[in-house]
Amino acid sequence: MILTREVAELKRPEDVVRVRQVARALALQAGFGLVDQTKIVTAVSELGRNALIHGGGGTATLEVIEEGIRRGLRIVFRDEGPGIADVERALQDGYTTSGGLGIGLGGARRLMNEFEISSSPGKGTTVTIARWK
């Protein structure tokens, strides 16, 4: 069940900052402690920047969710950019197409309890992450 939903555009660098702020507020609302809030915000920052830089912009949908007795936060990033030709390779630490450290996607995956990516060349990318209390 979705308890709270926020949708944010990712068109400018300041939009990534806003999505981070919304993620922190929703994580607090969901009852996450400071360590989990930091993990969530770090993953959101990385994936938001990826959608902006590599995907040419997109959206982030943030939801406080409840499944049975579990409460969590799910964030879905969507872009209509060029897509990722080799998702498995992109998830490997050290792989980069932008000259960075190449730990972004894999790092975001490690910070969250759930991580799913769907991408194909020319059709954009969707990344869904979730963290549970």
Q: Where do the domains of the chain lie? A: 2-132
**pLDDT at residue 93, rounded to an integer:** 67
Q: Tokens in use for 121?
A: 């060349």
Specify the range with the lowest mean pLDDT, choosing from 16-30, 50-64, 91-105, 114-128.
91-105
* End-to-end CA separation in angstroms for the chain: 15
- Residue-level pLDDT at 94: 60
101: confidence class by pLDDT, cuts 50, 70, 90: very low
Distances (CA, A) of 68 to 45, 50, 53, 65, 132: 29, 32, 37, 10, 12
For the chain, give the number of residues. 133
Query: For 17-39, what is each residue's pLDDT tens digit?
Result: 999 999 999 999 999 999 999 99
Digit-coded pLDDT (tens) for 39-56: 999 999 999 999 999 999
Q: Are 19 and 59 in contact (CB under 8 A)?
A: no
User: Which helix (H) or strand (E) element contains residue 114?
Assistant: strand 114-120
> What pLDDT, on the 0 to 100 scale, is given for residue 16?
96
Neighbours of 118 (CB within 10 A): 14
| pLDDT tier at 92, thresholds 50, 70, 90 | confident
| pLDDT at site 102 | 40
Helix, coil or strand: residue 80? coil
Judged against a pLDDT cut of 80, whether residue 97 lies above it is answered with no
Mean pLDDT of all residues in the chain? 91
Strands 70-79 and 124-132 turn out to be antiparallel
Task: Please give the model's pTM, rounded to 2 decimal places.
Answer: 0.91
Tell which CATH architecture fits domain 2-132.
2-Layer Sandwich (3.30)
Region 113-132: mean pLDDT is 95
